[in-house]
Amino acid sequence: MTIQATLSLLAFAQVLAATGWSDKTYQPSKERLANPERGLYVELDDRHQRPLESVQLRRLTDDGITLVQRLYYLKGYRDRPLDRQQLDLIEADFDTIREGGMKVILRFAYSSQIGEPDAPLNIVLGHIEQLKPVLQANSDLILTVQAGFIGAWGEWHASTNQLTTPDAMRAIATALLKAIPPDRTIQVRTPAQKMYLVGSTKPLSGELIDRGSLAARIGHHNDCFLADSTDTGTYRTAKLEIDRTYVAIDSQFVPVGGETCREGPRTDTNFARDEMARMHWSFLNLAYHRRVIAKWQSSGFLEEVRLRLGYRLRLGRLRLNKDVPAGGALRGKLTVHNDGFAAPLHNRPVELLLVDCSGKVKHRSTLDVDLRDVYPGVEVDWPIQTVIPANMPAGDYAARLWLPDPSLRLRDDRRYALRLANQVEKPTSDGSIRLDVDITIRSQLASPSRAASK
């Protein structure tokens, strides 16, 4: 929390002694929330060179799924640049994803089985440079980019072109990070690979991490989750606890997701739940492995997974001074909980809205908070402090909270607004959240002495 936010909370404590306030407690909900940038996903590859279709995505969104993984197999381009047809297909896919109100996990690969060739390093780097414009233009739709390109399924093993050498891995990761904006991340397949890329065996930790650093831009994808003690080589046998502890700590700040690959004792409900919580999972493939998903569906655990993957934020309490003169200060505090497995992966605006009886927003204020700091199992106080315009008409105003996507292209699309896990009477048309609190604005200003006391 910033110094300004801390001072706001201290000022709020003084306000409570000087004026009346609204004090509201909110009840949690077990409703499924179609929230962006988290949850179950389905992989859709393009091995048949067919673009995404709106009907495919509509089936997913009808089931409350907001994520899709798009895996591009560039098998026809192992020895040549990408042509206009391939680039247009990727651009068309982004258009379809945007139309469908979803976000995407990206991966590129040359091989869909062990033994099938990938591409030489110079070809890979050339393809990444070609992809840069379309990735930059559509970065608001990208949750993360899995490093890909190397070996079978782009999982950084079984390369036929020596791409798993340290120099080749670093070159590909560096090029990919340059191809996407600084606020977007990549994922690698094992913690050892990340340790090598960042040049340190120490995981991210602490409250003052540099969100734009190399370490903060590399997450983890585990495509054999819960398979065995090493997750089939995700963790090194000789350094098993070192690797697992590294991911457990590091994953508080970077994206973690992937899929299961076989059923076994570790896919039992209790162990799976503990592991998802420990490793801060944000997304999971709904379609694979089928036996694991069916097992969780039968036991009822899949519903919990749906609810808790990534973040699940809810309001606890709200306190606001309820009677404010035009030109005066509205102050308060909002308590927020996270019942999910992970913190939100990207920050976004948190706006307090004052809405008149006709439904028009008459005042808005952005809270000085960072959603990425709302960690699982933690209760966070958000300070509220805003000056009401001196010319704001007197009357009663309904307070709302709005958490839109930070992208200007998505900001007004309610499908991308973050929803809270509280019991709400009725959803709003713009995606804002009713706080069930009215604020009275008075036309007259308080006297200087009285205003000072507040």
CB contact at 8 A, 146 and 192: no
Name the token pair of 142: 């990208």
Q: 198-201: long-range contacts (C-beta < 8 A, 24 or more apart)? A: 201/242, 201/246
Task: Report the mean per-residue pLDDT for the chain.
Answer: 94
Q: What does 354-397 look like in DSSP terms, one character per residue? A: EE-TTS-EEEEEE-S--GGG--TT-EEEEEEEEEPPTTPPSEEE
Banded pLDDT at 308 (limits 50, 70, 90): very high
Longest distance between any two alpha carbons in the chain, whole Å: 80
153 and 289 share a domain? yes
Q: So what's the pLDDT on residue 17?
A: 41
Residue 79 has pLDDT above 60, yes or no: yes
Residue ending a domain, choose from 308, 325, 348: 308
Overall number of domains in the chain: 2
| 109/134 same-domain check | yes
Which of 290, 308, 326 terminates a domain? The answer is 308
pLDDT at 425: 66
Q: Residue 353 pLDDT > 80, yes or no?
A: yes
**Hey, what amino acid is at 338?**
N
Reported as half-sphere exposure (CB side, CA atoms, 13 A), residue 76 has a value of 9
Residue 143 pLDDT more than 60? yes
Cβ–Cβ < 8 Å for 416, 143: no
Q: Are residues 275 and 406 in the same domain?
A: no
Q: Each residue of 420-437: pLDDT tens digit?
A: 999 976 779 899 999 999
Domain boundaries, position 14: 3-30+312-453
Residues 217 and 75 in one domain: yes
pLDDT at 111: 98
pLDDT reported for residue 427: 76
Phi, psi at residue 188, to the nearest 5°? -115, 165
Q: Is the dihedral of CA 439, 441, 446, 452 positive or negative?
A: positive
Q: Can you give the pLDDT at residue 361?
A: 98
Residue 162: partners with Cβ closer than 8 Å, 6 or more residues away: 168
Length of the chain in residues, anyone? 454
Q: Which two tokens stand for residue 194?
A: 């990340």
Q: Are residues 340 and 422 in the same domain?
A: yes
Across 252-273, average pLDDT: 98
Say what the pLDDT of residue 424 is.
79
Are residues 25 and 59 part of one domain? no
Q: Which two tokens stand for residue 131?
A: 């992809």
Same domain, 245 and 389: no
Q: Is the pLDDT of residue 288 over 80?
A: yes
Residues 385-407 have pLDDT tens digits of 999 999 999 999 999 999 999 99
Is residue 165 located within the same domain as residue 238? yes
- The reported pLDDT for the residue numbered 91 is 99
Which pLDDT value is given to residue 49? 86
The per-residue pLDDT for range 12-66, each reduced to its tens digit, is: 444 444 457 889 999 999 999 999 999 999 999 988 889 999 999 999 999 999 9
The CB density around residue 308, as the number of other CB atoms within 10 Å, is: 21
CATH of the domain at 324: 2.60.40.10
pLDDT of residue 19: 55
For 122-141, what is each residue's pLDDT tens digit?
999 999 999 999 999 999 99
Local structure of 285: helix, strand or coil:
strand
User: Mean pLDDT across the stretch 77-86?
Assistant: 98
Question: CATH number of the domain that 55 lies in?
Answer: 3.20.20.80
18 with 75, same domain: the answer is: no
- Residues 184 and 145: their CA atoms lie apart, in Å, by 8
Same domain, 298 and 361: no
Contacts of 302 (CB under 8 A, 6+ apart): 293, 296
Shared-domain flag, residues 300 and 180: yes
pLDDT band at 298 (very low <50, low <70, confident <90, very high): very high
17 plus 113 within the same structural domain: no
**Domain edge (last residue) among 249, 277, 308:** 308
Average pLDDT score over residue span 191-198: 98
Alpha carbon distance 421, 245 (integer Å): 30
What is the model's pLDDT at position 47? 83
